[in-house]
Structure 1
Amino acid sequence: MSGLVSLVAGVALGLSLAAPPGPMNALIAQESVARGWRSGFRAGLGAMTADACFFVLAYAGVVAFIRHAPTLQAAMKAVGGLLLCYFAYGAAKSAREGAAETEASAGFRKTFLAALTNPMQIIWWLTAGVALLDPGTVTAFGHTFGATNGALTVGGFFCGILVWIAGFPALLRVAGDAVDTLERVVGYGSAVVLCVFGVWFLLDAV
């Protein structure tokens, strides 16, 4: 029973990071409706790979170091803000001109780089993400799970992210087949979301 609790806690924790609206889901949405499910899934894998890197850094104590390095935090916010503004321009251009052929790894690289410099993701790892390193209690979506098994919680965490990055693009593709203009709407919507977050990160860095 405790193993099941640990697994469910991990899945809930993974979804609490992956599901909320933000720049990563905007990028995944853009790739999904413009280039198909595989591109959306690859974009999701880019963000998940960044989370795997954050997990290793948290385990090594680097994430805790970042918490006490405001200058480094500001630099990461500035880089992340510039990247998101650049991606916003690309999303708007793609929506205006139609999806251009790109190499398969483009979406992966975009989300990977954006996630590594995403202040929201870093803050998550400084707060809720610490639970992955502590086999005590895990809190996700306002619910606190009891004592958990660390290894199972970590496995469940990445399973939760996989569920989201596979399901979210699939839902968008289904909707895209039903709504002819969805690609353009999502493209411009993603551009707005990315631009807003990019400017916000740049202002916060200053």
Structure 2
Amino acid sequence: MPSLAVSAVVGAVFGVVLAAPPGPMNAVIAEESVLRGWPAGFRAGLGAMLADALFFVLAVVGLVAVVDRTPSLRSGLYLLGGLLMLYFAVGALRDASAAQSFTGDVGGDSKGFRKAFALALTNPYQIAFWLTAGVGLIEPGRLDVLGYAPAVGDALAGTLVIQTGSPALLLGFFAGIGLWVVAYPAALVAAGRRVDAAAPVVAGLSGVVLAGFGAAFLWIGTTGLA
């Protein structure tokens, strides 16, 4: 049986692996970071992380599974999430057109925390994680950690299997997400200060990512209700 330290480290790696891939949450974090600085990007990351903490509680009490048993509710979440992503994509593209350099050139208060939190709560992919791997983290048993990694999970399956249900594993998991929330905005800002002209590009790409996911979610939700 792995030690508490190993479980914590593995949980942290798992958290980073799940938080790092491109997607709507990282698009919001990137937009806030390059336009308003590290604190705004960090707050956006906290919004997504708070949603994960909420899903964790709901998974513990079994309420997340209701979504899995209700196809119409799942489709409704896709539609709502898609509309929110398209709405925020318009704002991101508008801000990108106004940006001249990294951090501070776009006015207005940061709404990244609320945007990321709202998107995360209506993100069926995030809910699906807590229905599958998330439940696996909570319940005592065995977890194929690298088998859930996006894109390369099949190739890495069976490489690192640990015991689940350990508090150290769960704390490590959220610590890994927290590490990404701190490091990702910092990396964007550090790189952006060297190449100020990239700010509109990064913000614009964030808008494109949100728009792409929004359109995909609307399509999935519409076909699910049909």
Q: Same fold (TM over 0.5)?
A: yes
Aligned partner (choices 150, 154, 164) of residue 180 of structure 2: 164
Residue 100 (structure 1) aligned with residue 122 (structure 2) = no
Distance 1:135 1:181 in 2: 50
**CA 117–21 in structure 1, closer or farther in 2 if over 3 Å, else same:** same
Aligned residues: 205
Cα deviation 1:12-33 (Å, max 9, x = unaligned): 2212321111010010000001
Q: Which deviates the most, 116-125 or 129-138?
A: 129-138
C-alpha deviation, 1:164, in angstroms: 0.3
Question: Does 88-97 or 7-16 show the bigger shift?
Answer: 7-16
C-alpha change, 1:71 and 1:79, in structure 2 (3 Å) is same
Q: Distance in 1 between matches of 2:120 and 2:129?
A: 12
Match of 1:131 in 2: 136
Paired residues of 2:16 and 2:176 also in contact (CA < 8 A): yes
Give yes or no for contact 2:137–2:165 (8 Å, CA) kept in 1: no
Residues 144-193 of structure 1: CA deviation (Å, up to 9, x unaligned): 33224521111101100010010001110111011122210111101110
What amino acid is the match of 2:97?
A: R
- Cα pair 2:77 2:123 within 8 Å, conserved: yes
Question: Runs of 4 or more off by more than 3 Å in structure 1?
Answer: none
DSSP-derived class of the 1:137 partner: strand
Q: Which moved more, 1:164-173 or 1:2-11?
A: 2-11
**Contact persistence 1:13–1:139 (CA under 8 A):** no
**Residue 176 in structure 1 maps to residue 192 in structure 2:** yes
- Between 7-16 and 114-123, report the one with greater CA deviation: 7-16
| 1:140 is the counterpart of 2:145 | yes
Q: 1:46 corresponds to which residue?
A: 47
Cα distance in structure 1, aligned partners of 2:21 and 2:134: 15
1:63 aligns with 2:64: yes
Cα shift at 1:138 = 2.5
How many angstroms apart in 1 are the aligned matches of 2:189 and 2:146?
A: 27
How far did residue 123 of structure 1 move? Answer: 1.6
Q: How far apart, CA to CA, are the structure 2 residues paired with 1:150 and 1:102? A: 43
Say what the alpha-carbon RMSD is for the aligned residues: 1.4
DSSP-derived class of the 1:89 partner: helix
Percent identity between matched residues is: 50
In the aligned structure 2, how far is the partner of 1:119 from the partner of 1:205? 10
> Are the counterparts in 1 of residues 137 and 164 from structure 2 also a CA contact under 8 Å?
no
Give the drift of 1:102: 2.6
Separation of aligned partners in 2, 1:29 and 1:130 = 29
